[in-house]
Structure 1
Amino acid sequence: MKITINNKTYEVIKNEKDAIDEEVLKEAITEYFENFDFIVGDWAYGKLRLKGFNDKSNKNFKPINDIKNVDNYIKKYCAYGCRYFILKVIEKN
C-alpha cells in the first residue's frame, strides 16, 4: 500500500492494528522528518508519536536511527500491544 502526505509518497511497511490516520499524519510530519528514510509512528494515550530512521546508505545516518533497530525500538519504547506503523519514503515530489 502507498500513501502520499505533504508531497512525499510512502510505502506502508507495517500498519499494526490499523494505526495510520492520514489526517493526523498530515499535521504531524514536519520538515524535521525530511532527511529520514523511514518514519515509525505509534499511538500512546491518544497521541501520535513519530520517530525517524535511516538506512546506512543515508548521509545523515546515525546508529541511534538505524532502521535495523526498529523492532528493538518498538519493544523498548512503545507501549505493549500499541497501534503502530512503519512508512518508507519511496518518492519525494
Structure 2
Amino acid sequence: MKDTIVLNDQKYKIIDNYGNCIKTEEIESFLTSYFDIYDYICGDYAYDRLRLKGFCDKENKNLNKINDIKGYEKYISDLCSYKCKHFLLKKEKTK
C-alpha cells in the first residue's frame, strides 16, 4: 500500500484508509479550493457517495472546535454510517 498520494498537485500522507477506499480521480473531482485551508482531508462513503471534510492542526489559524483534528475519531463514530469506508489524508508542507 502506498503511504502518500498526490491530489491536484498537492502531496498528502495517507493516515487512515479503512476499507481501502481511496480513489484519486473521485477525490480530485470533489477537492475544491475550499479545502486549501485545512491540514487534513477526511473522506467517508455513505450509500456509495463520497463526502469530504477538512480538519486542522492546533497551529492552524483556522482551527475551531468543529474542525480540530482531535475530533476525527468522534466524527467517524458519530456522524458517519456505521463501519463505513473512510480515509484521512494529511497535507504535506511544501518547502
Structure with higher RCO (Cα < 8 A, 6+ apart): 1
**TM superposition shift of 1:92:** 4.8
| TM-score, structure 2 as length reference | 0.93
Q: CA RMSD in A?
A: 1.2
Look up the equivalent residue of 1:78 and give its one-letter code: C
Look up the equivalent residue of 2:30 and give its one-letter code: A
Task: Specify the SS of the correspondent of 1:71.
Answer: helix
- 1:31 aligned residue: 33
- Tell me whether 1:60 sits opposite 2:57 in the alignment: no
Matches of 2:69 and 2:60 in 1, distance apart?
A: 11
- 2:23 aligned residue: 21
Deviations 1:20-70 (A, max 9, x none): 011101101111100000010000111100000001100111111000010
Give 5+ residue unaligned stretches, structure 1.
Answer: none
| TM-score, structure 1 as length reference | 0.95
Matches of 2:66 and 2:59 in 1, distance apart?
A: 14
Identity percentage over the alignment? 43
